[in-house]
Every structure is written in C-alpha cells, then in structure tokens.
Amino acid sequence: MAVAELSTSCTKTHSSQLSLSSSSSSRFSHHFRRSFRPLPTTRNPTISCSVASDQVQTPIPVQAQDLKGKSECYGVFCLTYDLQAEEETKSWKKLINIAVSGAAGMISNHLLFKIASGEVFGPNQPVALKLLGSERSIQALEGVAMELEDSLFPLLREVSIGINPYEVFQDAEWALLIGAKPRGPGMERADLLDINGQIFAEQGKALNASASPNVKVIVVGNPCNTNALICMKNAPKIPAKNFHALTRLDENRAKCQLALKAGVFYDQVSNMTIWGNHSTTQVPDFLNARIKGLPVKEVIKDHKWLEEEFTEKVQKRGGVLIKKWGRSSAASTAVSIVDAIRSLITPTPEGDWFSSGVYTNGNPYGIAEDIVFSMPCRSKGDGDYVLVKDVIFDDYLLKRIKKSEAELLAEKRCVAHLTGEGIGFCDLPEDTMLPGEM
C-alpha cells in the first residue's frame, strides 16, 4: 500500500493510515530540491509539499524517451536534471542506484553525504540513493532525506525512502547493508545470529527479486560475515562473488597501529590483510604486511608486541571505542565503507592489496569452503576482485586463521535454518565475540 508520494507539481496531499509492516509496501519518494513538511506524529499523518499548488509552475513537457526507466522521475524535476541537455553534465556517466539499509543510523549519516558529494563514485557519476529504514526509523529517515535535499548536491539525482526492501532495492547496483540489531543485555550470540540472520535472509530474497542481477553487496551489520553468507544464500540469482563482509575497518585499524609503533605515517603501511571473521578471532596479518615496502618484522623488531599487543588491539578496537563513545564507531566505519567501494572501482596499486570478507569457494589458501572469510584481494577497478596468491604463512598465522575459520563454521551451523541447509545447531566457541563485545 502506498502511503504517500510527492507528485511533480506537489499539488496533491495524500492522507492514509501508516501501515509499516514489512509485508506492506510503504514508500516515500523524495526528489532532489523538493521540500516538504515532516510527518506529523498523528495517527493519520499527511505529507504536504511546502510549495502551495498555486505557486507551482506548470511543468514543462518531457519527452517520453527521457522518462524511460525513470519511474520516480517527474516533469520539472526531470527536465531540470536532463544530463544531456546541460553543457556541464552531458559528459556525465549513467546514473547508478545505490541502496543503503539502516539509512537513518549514525554510520549512514556519515556515509550518505560522502556518496552524494561524489567522493565515492567520482565527480561525474550521478547517483540515486534508495534508503531503507524500519518502522521505528521512518521519521528519522525522512529527516535524512530532507538534509540531503538541503545539501544541493549536483550529483544526487534521486532520493527515495521506504521500509520494504523489495521496493527499495529495485534496480540497485550497490547494496550497502548497514542496518542490524545490536546485541542487547542478556542476549546470547546465537540469538543475535538468528535475529539479524532473519533480516539478512529477507534482504537477500529482496535483492534476488528486485536488484540489478550484478548488484555488489557490502554487508556491514554484525555479525557481518555470517550475515553476508545468509544474504548470499538467499539470493541465488546474484553471483556469490558479489557479496562482501566489511573488514576494511579492521584493516585500517591495523595499519594505524603498525604506523604508530614504527613511527611512520600510515600511508607507509601496505599489504595489510585481515584474515577471517569480523570478531575478536580476526587475524591482522603482520607476516605479509609491509612498512615502507619492507616486511613488518624487519621494521618492528618487537615480535612479542606484534603477536600479542598489536593483534589484540586490532581485534578489540571496536570495543574500546564503544567504551569511549558509548556507541559503536560510526565515522570511521563510514570511511571504511567508502574505502571498500573505492577498492573495487579503482585498480589496486601495483603490488598492494586490500582485505574483504568474501566467499571462500575456490580460495587458494586451503580455508574451508562455503563461508565468508576476510582474505587479501586485488581489483582491476571493474567492481570485481581476485584473491592474492603470493602470500606466505607460518605456524602462528595458520593457527590463528584456523581459529577464526572454526568460529565461522560454527556460526554457519547455527544459521543453517536461514541458509536452507537444515536445522540450525549452535555450538559456538565460548570466547566468540564481536569487536564491540568485551
């Protein structure tokens, strides 16, 4: 049921009962430079355009071909932003659709404005933002859309918000899945896996049904590796390779700690792999990482520090931040999502690589198949990646990797009911924790 939609001329005021169950198809469509009053908190909210109907100029007719495939684009709005018609925009690329879940949250609040500004996809790449929220966050989501409008980003061509993933994910070429339930007091990790797993199973189905068949999916909501696996298993039409679990924040944290210890700026640290789960079993790999092009162990002689302090610092950085902030990291997470996207759409610098949680089938390291595991990747900048072959292992590294692998295999058994592989059975290792759970 459509709740309300802003028409081109903003002459209509729709009024209907808010029905926000996920099975209903509520959506608000907001177009750039349209302004509207926020939803009042009454039982029968209305959405009104702040421009009175008699003040709106008659829309200039738009050629039918201009509207092709732009179902949410109307009259004046379309003409105003006809990329081909304007000298400064006619060389721009074709608009891309980016879906973001948890769009009213803190991480998104940093991320969306970076995407809209062109910082992520480039200065000649127009974008459409498709924002998914929840029943609880719909008012805040409207606030996000309003702030996006007020920012007058030239590249932001379209903003739509809604709570139905099947609608919001329509034609999405990127899906940045941030929204997830945080672990509450007394909640077992198995409960968290189940609750969030259900969200990601549903979103996988929605992507399968509605998104572009080659959509790239970055799962941020925790436990992100297993959520990515669940999402992938519920989206059989989308290549498994297209699913990522965000471990770029861990990579960035690891680079920062190595730079601090070595007394160099962090741009001197390269070849940083995070292996495994985005949890306290993750393995920041100092064996293959480099500082000023040299193996880390040649630059940092304190190997005990590397094995103990460094590793634990990276594993638990998220938790330390939660203690300081009173909430999870948001700005640095958003930055790391930008880094993760940019690593896929720009060629990886010669000799370097980046970390991402990806599907293990066919991996050259002997890691168990059929899980999502962070590994070193390289990209030609086409949105795809290959796994890096020339990495070395020692006993320390292998032992740590095995521990993270065992954790992910246990998580997988726990969510078998959500991946279509039978009945879930949870035998999670005792110490398995998200970076923020300490």
CB of 252 to ligand LMR, least distance (A): 11
CA atoms within 13 A on the CB side of 53: 6
193 binds ligand LMR (CB under 6 A): no
For residues 96 and 174, the answer to whether their CB atoms sit within 8 Å is yes
278 assigned to active site = yes
Site residue total, ligand LMR (CB under 6 A): 10
Residue closest to ligand LMR, measured at CB: 436
CB of 432 to ligand LMR, least distance (A): 12
180 binds ligand LMR (CB under 6 A): no
Among 105, 197, 357, 435, binds ligand LMR (CB under 6 A): 435
Q: b or e along 373-393 (b: 16 or more beta carbons within 10 Å of the residue's beta carbon)?
A: bbbbbbbeeebebebbeebee
Q: Which two tokens stand for residue 438?
A: 């300490």
H or E stretch including 290? strand 290-291
For residues 52 and 9, the answer to whether their CB atoms sit within 8 Å is no
- 223 cis-preceded (ω within 30 degrees of 0): yes
Among 318, 355, 356, 377, binds ligand LMR (CB under 6 A): 318
CB of 336 to ligand LMR, least distance (A): 9
258 binds ligand LMR (CB under 6 A): no
179 binds ligand LMR (CB under 6 A): no
Q: Which two tokens stand for residue 116?
A: 């809209």
Question: For residues 328 and 343, which CB has a smaller minimum distance to ligand LMR in the complex?
Answer: 328
Which of these is catalytic: 30, 278, 303, 417? 278
Of the listed pieces 264-272, 303-311, 413-421, 428-436, which binds ligand LMR according to CB under 6 A? 428-436
Among 277, 328, 355, 379, binds ligand LMR (CB under 6 A): 328
What's the start-to-end Cα distance of the chain, in Å? 43
CA-wise closest residue to 281 among 369, 410, 405: 405
Question: For residues 100 and 138, which CB has a smaller minimum distance to ligand LMR in the complex?
Answer: 100
Q: Which two tokens stand for residue 202?
A: 């549903």
Please state, in angstroms and rounded to a whole number, the distance separating the CA atoms of residues 261 and 222. 29
Sketch the per residue contact string, 203 through 242, with ligand LMR: x for CB under 6 A, - otherwise: -------------------x--------------------
Of the listed pieces 78-86, 145-153, 208-216, 429-437, which binds ligand LMR according to CB under 6 A? 429-437
277 binds ligand LMR (CB under 6 A): no
Question: For residues 148 and 190, which CB has a smaller minimum distance to ligand LMR in the complex?
Answer: 190
For residues 81 and 157, the answer to whether their CB atoms sit within 8 Å is yes
Give 53-86 as a DSSP string.
GGGSPPPPP--HHHHTT-TT--HHHHHHT-TTTS
Question: For residues 49 and 246, which CB has a smaller minimum distance to ligand LMR in the complex?
Answer: 246
Question: For residues 235 and 434, which CB has a smaller minimum distance to ligand LMR in the complex?
Answer: 434
Please state, in angstroms and rounded to a whole number, the distance separating the CA atoms of residues 312 and 284. 9
Please state, in angstroms and rounded to a whole number, the distance separating the CA atoms of residues 164 and 175. 14
436 binds ligand LMR (CB under 6 A): yes
282-301 residues near ligand LMR, rule: CB under 6 A: none
329 binds ligand LMR (CB under 6 A): yes
249 binds ligand LMR (CB under 6 A): yes
Question: For residues 317 and 378, which CB has a smaller minimum distance to ligand LMR in the complex?
Answer: 317
CB of 189 to ligand LMR, least distance (A): 11
Amino acid at 285: D
Q: Which two tokens stand for residue 98?
A: 């980016």
For residues 399 and 423, the answer to whether their CB atoms sit within 8 Å is no
Please state, in angstroms and rounded to a whole number, the distance separating the CA atoms of residues 309 and 307. 7
Task: Kindly list the residues in this chain that would bind ligand LMR in the complex (CB under 6 A).
Answer: 222, 249, 318, 321, 328-329, 434-437
Enumerate the active-site residues. Answer: 278
